[in-house]
Amino acid sequence: MQDRPTVTKSELIENLSRKQPHLAYKDVELAVKTLLEEMSNALSGGQRIEIRGFGSFSLHYRPPRVGRNPKTGESVALPGKYVPHFKPGKQLRECVNESEAS
């Protein structure tokens, strides 16, 4: 694992706020939190998210399986479940890969 520079939610809010000086910082902060909440709500309600040029989020089904408690070796029946999945869009794939070449 290499250490990459990281942008956190609060840094993202700061960057957006700098680019939208006519909006109050608090509003940008609330907007970002509202958007993420909206996206989480959509996925947890079984809805897809499609953002052109960025990518799409959907749910993938994981069938039931028998797992094992690693401590005791005991078998446990694990029910089927859904997991969030992200598929990057064409534009995102291209601009991320181009940056690597340069």
Residues in contact with other proteins by the rule CB under 8 A:
4-9, 12, 15-16, 19-20, 23, 27-28, 30-32, 34-36, 38-40, 42-55, 57, 59, 61, 79-86, 88, 91-93, 95-100
**Does residue 36 contact residue 55 with C-beta atoms inside 8 Å?**
no
Nearer CB in complex with other proteins: 35/68: 35
- Structure-block tokens of residue 96: 């991320």
Nearer CB in complex with other proteins: 75/82: 82
Contacts of 24 (CB under 8 A, 6+ apart): none
CA-wise closest residue to 81 among 68, 69, 64, 66: 64
Nearer CB in complex with other proteins: 3/73: 3
Helices 9-19, 25-44: crossing angle, 10 deg rounding: 130
Q: How far is the CB of 68 from other proteins (least distance, A)?
A: 19
Q: How far is the CB of 47 from other proteins (least distance, A)?
A: 5
Q: How far is the CB of 31 from other proteins (least distance, A)?
A: 5
Decide: helix, strand or coil at residue 18.
helix
